[in-house]
Amino acid sequence: MGIHHATASKKNWFLLTASFSLSIILFLCISVGLDFAHELIPTMRSWQPDITLNGYANERVLDQRLGDAISGITGVEHIWGSSYMENVSVNSSRPDIDHVNITSYSQYMLDCAKDSLVQGDLSEIYGDSDKVMTVLNKDNPIKVGDTIQIAGQDVEVACGISSGLYPSEYSVICSQETFARLTGEQNYSMIGIQLSSKATDETVKQINSLTESNVIFTDERQSNQRNANTYLAVKFLLYSFMAIIAMITLFNIVNSISMSVTARIKQYGAMRAVGMDGNQLTRMIGAEAFTYAVSGLIVGSGIGIALSRFLYVKLVTRFLEASGVCRLF
């Protein structure tokens, strides 16, 4: 009986279904907006450091023992290292690839790379391995499955990620152990340091005291905090807008059902007179509301998923392609 009441008036059924579905569509589209806002703020990455140490022109001057010494300082939460070597001559299964730019990731960076994994299995990259990964975008001809010979040693591109530390053209990313075997180089080009809540200015001074004159010391804490606050503000505004729309939708549905009940008050009185109890009457009205919710869920999910995918492709994917999906400090 409740389902019949919900579907009897096609106009009312359409309007209430549209109210439910609108909230679902907005929620799915707003989630795309948050993804887009996240991409616009490069410092929102899980590996984003508070302090960076760089060699000039990406020169490999940072000893791995420096990373070990920094990790022992009170207030240092995570530390990672990366080496970079560009224009390395190679032979490849693709005839148009005669050189690559090799980047190494320490274990923490490999763990964080799972967030940007697009294709393949990242677990094969760890340790001294013959597997590497690459950044997948229009500027990089290297694809998952390619075989590349570096310094007479074959490696296979086992997976692809959406963003990297260095420019993505001809990018080959491997573990630090694999980098050392392929290039003979042990030192880092960059060390990233993430600080804990216990870190003080003394922590930063201790880190700075360990660096030499040929190292660029950069304190990213203030810019990271500004960007984090900006993202939180955008998130708050979008979800506040969503909450307002949801409340308006809820009040509209409650009001519409209340009006429907009022319009049928004589009919409900007749039902009570012939034996329908209060619980049955409540269940009938609940079935009416449930019908609106199910129809709204079906319509909203169908339209919302399609629309959110369209927006994701037009906004996030296109932005990543246009920006080369790389993040530089």
Residue 292 lies in a domain: yes
Structure tokens at 228: 């984090």
Residues 57 and 107 in one domain: yes
Mean pLDDT of 9-23: 73
Q: Is 70 within a domain?
A: yes
* Beta strands in 59-204, from DSSP E residues, in sequence order: 76-82, 84-92, 99-105, 117-120, 131-135, 147-150, 153-161, 171-175, 190-195
Q: How far apart are CA 177 and CA 185, in angstroms?
A: 10
Give 153's strand partners: 150
Residue 329 lies in a domain: no
Q: Looking at the domain assignment, is residue 78 inside a domain? A: yes
The identity of residue 258, as a single letter, is S
Predicted pLDDT at 91: 92
Q: For the chain, what is the mean pLDDT?
A: 83
The predicted-structure confidence for 61-114, as pLDDT tens digits, reads as follows 999 999 999 999 999 999 999 999 999 999 998 888 999 999 999 999 999 998
CA distance 95 to 118: 24
Residue 136 lies in domain: 51-220
Distance CA 54, CA 47 (A): 16
Number of domains in the chain: 2
> DSSP characters for 271-311?
HHHTT--HHHHHHHHHHHHHHHHHHHHHHHHHHHHHHHHHH
Q: Look at residues 220, 246, 262 and tell me which one is the last residue of a structural domain.
A: 220
User: Are residues 121 and 153 part of one domain?
Assistant: yes
pLDDT of 7: 61
List, in order, residues 6 or more apart from 52 with CB less than 8 Å away.
190, 191, 192, 193, 216, 217, 218, 220, 329
Please answer whether residues 79 and 192 qualify as being in contact, where contact means their C-beta atoms are separated by less than 8 angstroms. Answer: yes
Quick check: 32 and 304 in contact, CB under 8 A?
no
Question: What is the token pair recorded at 45?
Answer: 């990455």
32 and 61 share a domain? Answer: no
Q: Which two tokens stand for residue 275?
A: 């034996």
Domain boundary among 175, 191, 220: 220
- If asked whether residues 304 and 197 sit together in one domain, one would say no
Is there a contact between 150 and 100 (Cβ–Cβ < 8 Å)?
yes
Last residue of a domain, one of 220, 238, 263: 220
- pLDDT (tens digit, 9 = 90+) per residue, 182-228? 999 999 999 999 999 889 999 999 999 999 889 999 999 888 888 88
